[in-house]
Amino acid sequence: ILNVEQSPQSLHVQEGDSTNFTCSFPSSNFYALHWYRWETAKSPEALFVMTLNGDEKKKGRISATLNTKEGYSYLYIKGSQPEDSATYLCAPRFETGANNLFFGTGTRLTVIP
- Count how many Cα atoms sit within 13 Å of the Cα of residue 19 in the half-sphere of its side chain: 22
Question: In whole angstroms, what is the distance from residue 99 CA to residue 33 CA?
Answer: 11
Closer residue to other proteins, CB minimum distance, 29 or 99: 99
Stretch that binds other proteins, among 14-22, 34-42, 69-77, 78-86 (CB under 8 A): 34-42
Cα distances (Å, whole numbers) of residue 55 to 9, 64, 66, 76: 24, 8, 5, 14
By CB under 8 A, tell whether 60 contacts other proteins: no
Stretch that binds other proteins, among 13-21, 75-83, 89-97 (CB under 8 A): 89-97
Number of amino acids touching other proteins (CB under 8 A): 30
Cα-based angle 9, 4, 59 (whole degrees, multiple of 5): 70
Closer residue to other proteins, CB minimum distance, 17 or 102: 102
Residue 38 three-state SS: strand
Shortest separation between residue 53's beta carbon and other proteins, angstroms: 10
Positions touching other proteins (CB under 8 A) are 4, 6, 31-32, 34, 36, 41-46, 49-52, 55, 89, 91, 93, 97-106
